[in-house]
């Protein structure tokens, strides 16, 4: 599975370094592995939500509106919650919603590790 935080984490969540702009690089990673499942965020600071694609199609999730205080750890939170949900057997749509909801909580708080919500804080699907 490819998990690339394109704009929000500046492409740093991807596997290799490049001189390409973050959004373009994220799409390049997805294009290089067309048959592998991929989850990625869209738009500057995820303004367009997140998507997941695999051989069966594409699913997307919008954003959860919140007051942005600090974007530190937003990408880590998204990827961690998404992969945890997939590991639990949740479908991609539910994993995207959980990860997006958790990231919206993260950006509403200052700091890095302290801003990441506990699972109990993220409303269940």
Q: What are the tens digits of pLDDT across the range 84-122? A: 999 999 999 999 999 999 999 999 999 999 999 999 999
Active site (annotated) includes residue 114:
no
Q: Which CATH class is domain 2-118?
A: alpha beta
Asked if 125 contacts 98 with a C-beta cutoff of 8 angstroms, the reply is yes
Instruction: Please give the Cα distance from 110 to 75 (Å, whole number).
Output: 14
17 pLDDT more than 50: no
Please state the domain extents for the chain. 2-118
Mean pLDDT of the chain, nearest integer? 77
In the prediction, which pLDDT does 22 show? 44
Q: Characterise 82 by phi-psi region: left (phi > 0), alpha (psi -120 to 50), beta (else).
A: alpha
pLDDT for the residue numbered 101? 94
Which residue would you say has higher pLDDT here, 14 or 3?
3
Catalytic residue among 48, 54, 76, 114: 76
Does residue 87 sit in helix, strand or coil? helix
pTM of the model: 0.74
Q: Name beta bridge partners: 52.
A: 39, 59
């Amino acid at each position: 599975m490819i998990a690339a935080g394109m704009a929000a984490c500046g492409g740093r969540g991807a596997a290799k370094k490049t001189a390409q702009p973050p959004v373009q690089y994220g799409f390049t990673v997805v294009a290089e592995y067309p048959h592998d499942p991929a989850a990625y965020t869209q738009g500057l600071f995820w303004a367009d939500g997140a998507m997941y694609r695999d051989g069966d199609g594409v699913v997307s999730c919008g954003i959860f509106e919140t007051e942005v205080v600090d974007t530190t750890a937003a990408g880590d939170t998204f990827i961690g919650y998404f992969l945890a949900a997939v590991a639990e057997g949740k479908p991609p749509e539910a994993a995207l919603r959980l990860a997006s909801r958790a990231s919206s909580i993260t950006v509403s708080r200052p700091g890095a590790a302290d801003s990441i919500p506990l699972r109990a804080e993220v409303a269940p699907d």
